[in-house]
Amino acid sequence: MADFKDIIGHEQVIHHMQNAIRQKKFSHAYLLCGEAGSGKRLAAEAFAKTILCEEGGIEACGKCKSCKQIESGNHPDFKAVVREKATLGVKEIREQVTADVQIKPYSSEYKIYFIDEAEKMTEEAQNALLKTIEEPPEYAVFLLSVTRQELLLQTVLSRCVLLPFHPVATGKIKQFLMEKKGIPDYLAESAATFSGGLTGRAVQYAESESFSEQRDEVLHLVKHVDEMTMAEIMENVKLFAAKKDTADEYLEMILLWYRDVLLYKATKNLNMLLFRDQPEAIAAQAGKRSFENLQGIVEALEQVKQRMKSNVNFENALELLLLYMKEV
- Planar angle of CA 149, 23, 35, nearest 5 degrees: 20
Which pLDDT score is estimated for 23? 94
Global pTM reads 0.75
Cα dihedral value 280, 281, 287, 291, nearest 10 = -130
Q: What is the CATH number of the domain that holds 16?
A: 3.40.50.300
Mean of pLDDT values over 4-23: 95
Q: What is the CATH number of the domain that holds 247?
A: 1.20.272
| Contact call for residues 34 and 138 (beta carbons, < 8 A) | no
Which pLDDT score is estimated for 211? 81
Q: What is the mean pLDDT of the chain?
A: 89
**Diameter of the chain by CA atoms?**
68
- Are 77 and 219 within one domain? no
Which pLDDT score is estimated for 215? 83
- Are 13 and 124 within one domain? yes
Neighbours of 299 (CB within 10 A): 12
- Are 218 and 131 within one domain? no
Banded model confidence at residue 1, pLDDT cuts 50, 70, 90: confident
Mean of pLDDT values over 282-309: 85
Mean of pLDDT values over 242-247: 69
- Are 154 and 198 within one domain? no
Domain-terminating residue out of 207, 231, 265: 207
- Are 21 and 130 within one domain? yes
- Are 184 and 246 within one domain? no
Mean of pLDDT values over 28-50: 95
Which pLDDT score is estimated for 313? 64
> How is the chain split among helix, strand and coil, in percent rounded to 5?
60, 10, 30
pLDDT digits (tens, 9 = 90+) for 133-160: 999 999 999 999 999 999 999 999 999 9
Sign of the alpha-carbon dihedral angle for 263, 264, 266, 269: positive
pLDDT digits (tens, 9 = 90+) for 248-258: 778 888 888 99
User: What percent of the chain lies above the pLDDT cut of 90?
Assistant: 59
- Are 202 and 247 within one domain? no
Q: Which amino acid is at 229?
A: T
Integer Cα distance of 108 and 205 in angstroms = 39
User: What is the β-pairing status of strands 78-80 and 29-33?
Assistant: unpaired
Neighbours of 31 (CB within 10 A): 23
- Are 26 and 175 within one domain? no
Mean of pLDDT values over 305-317: 69
| Contact call for residues 213 and 219 (beta carbons, < 8 A) | no
Domain-terminating residue out of 207, 235, 263: 207
Domain count, the chain: 3
Mean of pLDDT values over 207-217: 81
- Are 182 and 120 within one domain? no
Cα dihedral value 249, 255, 259, 261, nearest 10 = 110
| Nearest C-alpha neighbor of 122 from the set 85, 88, 93 | 88
Banded model confidence at residue 168, pLDDT cuts 50, 70, 90: very high
- Domain range for 228: 211-326
- Are 117 and 195 within one domain? no
| pLDDT top residue among 219 and 244 | 219
User: What percent of the chain lies above the pLDDT cut of 70?
Assistant: 96
Report H helices in 73-122: 90-93
Integer Cα distance of 172 and 103 in angstroms = 43
Domain-terminating residue out of 207, 237, 268: 207
pLDDT reading at 311 higher than 80: no
| Nearest C-alpha neighbor of 50 from the set 16, 84, 98 | 16
Integer Cα distance of 256 and 214 in angstroms = 13
Which pLDDT score is estimated for 328? 57
- Are 135 and 251 within one domain? no
Integer Cα distance of 215 and 220 in angstroms = 9
Q: Which amino acid is at 174?
A: K
If you ran DSSP here, which 8-state letter would residue 182 be given?
-
pLDDT digits (tens, 9 = 90+) for 82-118: 998 889 999 999 999 999 999 999 999 999 999 999 9
- Are 268 and 297 within one domain? yes
Integer Cα distance of 53 and 27 in angstroms = 18
